[in-house]
Amino acid sequence: MRPTWVDPPISSVRDVVARALAEDLGVFGDLTAGLIPPKATVTAAIRSRVGGVLAGTMTARATFEAVDGSVRVGWLGSDGDAFEPGGLVAEVSGSLVSVLTAERTALNLLGHLSGVATLTRRFVDAAAGRCQIRDTRKTTPGLRALEKAAVRAGGGVNHRGSLSDGILIKDNHLAGLTVGEAVSAAHARWPGVPCQVECDTLDQVRTALEAGAGMVLLDNMDPPQVASAVALVAGRALVEVSGRVTLDTVGDYAAAGPDFISVGALTHSAPVLDLGLDLEA
């Protein structure tokens, strides 16, 4: 059994599934499934058309169960497991009407979340262990808890869960304060809460260090600049790289020695993983 820390919280799972089903069932329910003889039962396979990393199993299972508590879902892997193209992901059995009614909502969730996990894994692999890959707050509204869990399934680590559990000071926030004043206020009011300062230049990195920031966020620097910043920091703070890092460039950035690279695309631009439900004979 895998650790539970890659799982999303049960409250979020229930909430998302209830809304997603209501959205898809509409006023009349599934008109097409209503054509089916009600006694028909089925065993079906969820298969991926492509390779990838699994995420969203709790959510997909909860979708089938919310439609019909007697549908059974057996997973062939856990969140975070890789699968091959054509690989069997799960077996679903029960009433044909129920399985087809839940199919699209379950696959939308599973495909989207596995897409996030898969893209994360690709960044993680490209970083080759030299630094950690983090997500951002650029998540899909309403799905943050699930997407952040999918990032964990992909091998990434999570940045802030909300504006409420981390401080990230940008130029925009100063409004007359110095960085030092802002960091001091942050430390005084929110002791123990991670406090980052965004830096566009080495000078700003120097200022942030003097201000006592625990982490610097290097924004839109190239790998050599990152290497210089890492050298400048010299372990006095954690270093995070941010700003349109791609799969092509992530290796170079990782080689420059930061602690983290954060990638908005993990959650805002991951293509869906193409999963389908095949009825079995």
Q: Cβ contacts of residue 186 below 8 Å, gap of 6+?
A: 167, 169, 193, 195
Residue 219 β-bridge partners: 242
260-279 residues in contact with a copy of itself (CB under 8 A) are 260, 264-265, 268-269, 271-272, 274, 279
Q: Is 189 in the site for a copy of itself (CB under 8 A)?
A: yes
DSSP percent split of the chain into helix, strand, coil, nearest 5? 45, 20, 40
Residues 215, 229, 250, 256: which binds a copy of itself (CB under 8 A)? 215
Q: Which is nearer to a copy of itself, 84 or 171 (CB)?
A: 171
Residues 169, 239, 250, 254: which binds a copy of itself (CB under 8 A)? 169
The nearest distance, CB 156 to a copy of itself, in angstroms, is 10
Query: Which ranges in 159-257 belong to alpha helices (H)?
Result: 179-189, 202-211, 223-233, 250-255
Q: Which is nearer to a copy of itself, 102 or 126 (CB)?
A: 102
Q: Is 234 in the site for a copy of itself (CB under 8 A)?
A: no
Q: Is 86 in the site for a copy of itself (CB under 8 A)?
A: no
Orientation of helix 10-25 relative to helix 144-153, angle to 10°? 120
Q: Is 45 in the site for a copy of itself (CB under 8 A)?
A: no
235-264 residues in contact with a copy of itself (CB under 8 A) are 238, 244, 259-260, 264
Burial of 125 (0-12, 13-18, 19+ CB in 10 A): middle
124-163 residues in contact with a copy of itself (CB under 8 A) are 132, 137-145, 148-149, 152, 157-158, 161-163
Instruction: Report d(CA 276, CA 95) in Å as an integer.
Output: 18
